[in-house]
Amino acid sequence: MRFLLLILLSLTLFTGCQNVEVKHPVDTGEVRTEVFFSPRGGCRDAIVNLIENSRESIDIAIYSFTSRKIAKALIDAHRRGVKVRVIIDEGNGKSRFCVGPLLEKAGIEVRYKRGSGGGLMHNKYAIYDGKVISTGSFNWTESAEKRNDENLVIIENDSKLIKMYEKNFSKLWKLAGLTN
């Protein structure tokens, strides 16, 4: 058993990480998964691409949001009729760099929330058209894009997983509405 673990550990250490695409067949279509790593690994551009391709709705729960490029893409989506809702951690929402007020000024619904247990609202995910999720450690900030070691996972067509995220978002949205 230890020998097997040593072999697996060795393979992990020597093969490293890279941007990979993994596919899993399911009944309703094919689940498609993409993984990105930063710094400068395409995380921000992948999010902007998802926003630009959204047609109906985008629900976002994000801890820190200072990226003007992502904010611009959301404002453009809102202007073309996409329903956009954003929840930002309450503490980060008070930062002078937070784009929450910019989004609100453009007519996008933004709510600020503490963590349900009194700590942080530390989620970093978005649901696009009820068909795609982006999640991972990647905050929507310039530091995450240019300096930090972060990850972003994009999952398409996994209806059970998407329903779980939608349920969580609905709960957070309602709770944030009680305090805003």
> Is 122 labeled as catalytic in the residue annotation?
yes
Question: Residue 62 in 3-state DSSP?
Answer: strand
**CA torsion, points 84, 90, 92, 96, in degrees to nearest 10?**
80
Q: Kindly name the residue from 113, 124, 149, 171 that is annotated as catalytic.
A: 124
Strand residues in 99-176 grouped as ranges (E): 109-113, 124-128, 132-135, 150-156
Q: Kindly name the residue from 122, 163, 167, 174 that is annotated as catalytic.
A: 122
Crossing angle for the helix pair 43-53 and 68-79, to the nearest 10 degrees: 10
Angle (nearest 5°) at CA 158 between 153 and 159: 135
Cα 173 to Cα 129: distance, rounded to the nearest angstrom: 17
- Which amino acid type is present at position 94? K
Cα 110 to Cα 89: distance, rounded to the nearest angstrom: 11
8 A C-beta contact, residue 34 and residue 63: no
> Is 129 labeled as catalytic in the residue annotation?
yes
Q: Kindly name the residue from 69, 76, 129, 131 that is annotated as catalytic.
A: 129
> Is 124 labeled as catalytic in the residue annotation?
yes
**Residues known to be catalytic:** 122, 124, 129
